[in-house]
Structures are given as structure tokens and as C-alpha cells.
Chain A
Amino acid sequence: MNDILTALLLVFGSLFCFVAALGMLRLPDTVIRMHAATKAGTLGAGLILIAESFFYAELGITLRALAAITFLLLTAPVAAHLIGRAAYYSGIRLWHKTWIDQLKDRYPAGDPPEESEP
């Protein structure tokens, strides 16, 4: 039972990772690409880590896998937010079919707001 579950989770996790990489290659725009990388990549890595906790079925491994998943779920949105902010201010060109850009009037691309020095 555990073997079947491990195999299924491994296959699905790796396929989600493959979808993330394919989206990385094929999608038209930095921000849209970030969508694929962050969500599908996190889901794939999380599924593989769950597969590992099913495979070993020990408390220590499961706790470590859960810690890794929690860390991934905490850090992936933060990293994506930082990259998206930096990408928008560095003046990337959005896809030509993008028709909602709520930051356009506030911060035209290439003009970052003044940031207080830490």
C-alpha cells in the first residue's frame, strides 16, 4: 500500500515539476512565467517530499519532510513577491494581451519608488 502511494506521489510530483519547467519555457512573459514556477514547482516538490515520508514511514523522516514542506510553502511566496517587484520596477515588458496593469499609473516601469535605506 505504501509502495503504491509512494510511486503515485513520485510520478505526480515529477510530472508537476515537468509542467512547471515547460511553463517556464513556453509562457510569454516574466510575470506569467513566475506563476508557473512558483505554484507548480512548489506543488511538485511538496508531493515528492510527501512521497518520501510515506516511503520511510518513520516519525523523524516525516517530521523532517513536513518541516521542508512548511519551509517551501513559507518562502516561495516571499521569494516570488520579491522577484515580481524587482522585475516590474526593472521595466520588463508585459505580454501584449495583458489588459490589467494596476501599477501603471502609480509606478511607470523603470521608475522605482524611493526606498528608505536600511
Chain B
Amino acid sequence: MPADTSLVEIASRFALVVLLISIALALVRLIKGPDAADRIVALDLISMLIIGFLATESIYAGETSFLDVAIGYALIAFLGTVALARFLMRSTQLTSKNMNKIEDKTTNNE
């Protein structure tokens, strides 16, 4: 490491490494998650970590346009998470077609 590395450079390098390790940990959960919901949660966390990674990269590289990339990625990641959750909801509705059970529940609620 050269002698003229500033404090911010060291900190941003540390943050980049830690964020990469975090993304790897979340990827483990994404791969082995026992349920579809676990995978969606892991994807949500990974997108959040990538937003932090882009902001850190913007500090590390001195390039402000990475921040715009982070904002755009946040927008798209939210849409993706919502779409996946809706898809999971719809698929469970289609698979469980026991309508009489639902009627029993509405009477039980009284």
C-alpha cells in the first residue's frame, strides 16, 4: 500500500471488501434457502447491499455518476421485489383451490 493513501481511501477499500463478503453470505442463503420466500428476501438484501456497494464505489473511484446508478438500481430493485412477491402470492392462490375451507374460516371469524 503506498504511503500517500488517505483515510477515506482505506475506509472505502475496507467497506468494499466487507460489502463483497456480505453479498457472498447473502448469496449462500439465496442458493440454499429452503423456501421461495427465503430466496426473495435474500434477493432483496442483495439489492440493498449493491446500492451500498455502488455508493462506496462512487467514493472510492471519485466518480459521482455512480450515485445516479445507485438511485436507478434502487428503483428497479423495488419493482423486482414487488413483482416477485406478487408472483409468489398469485402462485399460492392458484395452487390452493379449497374454497369451502375459506368459507369455513369466514364463519369462524364471527
* Residues of chain A at the chain B interface (Cβ within 8 Å): 3-4, 6-8, 10-11, 13-15, 17-18, 20-22, 24-25, 30, 33-34, 37-38, 41-42, 44-45, 48-49, 51-52, 55-56, 61, 64-65, 67-68, 71-72, 75-76, 78-80, 82-83, 85-87, 89-92, 105-108, 110-115
- Contact call B51/A21, Cβ cutoff below 8 A: no
B15, B64, B89: the one contacting A56 at CB < 8 Å is: B64
- Contact call A113/B52, Cβ cutoff below 8 A: no
A11, A56, A68: the one contacting B70 at CB < 8 Å is: A68
A62 to B1, CA, bound (A): 31
Give the distance to chain B from A91, nearest Cβ to Cβ, in Å.
7
A41, A67, A79: the one contacting B49 at CB < 8 Å is: A41
* Residues of chain B at the chain A interface (Cβ within 8 Å): 6-8, 10-12, 14-16, 18-19, 21-23, 25-26, 28-29, 35-38, 40-42, 44-45, 48-49, 51-52, 55-56, 58-59, 64, 67-68, 70-71, 74-75, 78, 81-82, 84-86, 88-89, 91-93, 96, 98, 101-102, 105, 108-109
Residue of A nearest to B17 (CB): A14
- Contact call A85/B89, Cβ cutoff below 8 A: yes
A31 to B91, CA, bound (A): 19
The residues of A that contact B28 with a CB separation of less than 8 Å are 25
Residue of B nearest to A7 (CB): B11
A11, A24, A83: the one contacting B15 at CB < 8 Å is: A11
Give the distance to chain B from A71, nearest Cβ to Cβ, in Å.
6
B14, B38, B40, B67: the one contacting A11 at CB < 8 Å is: B14
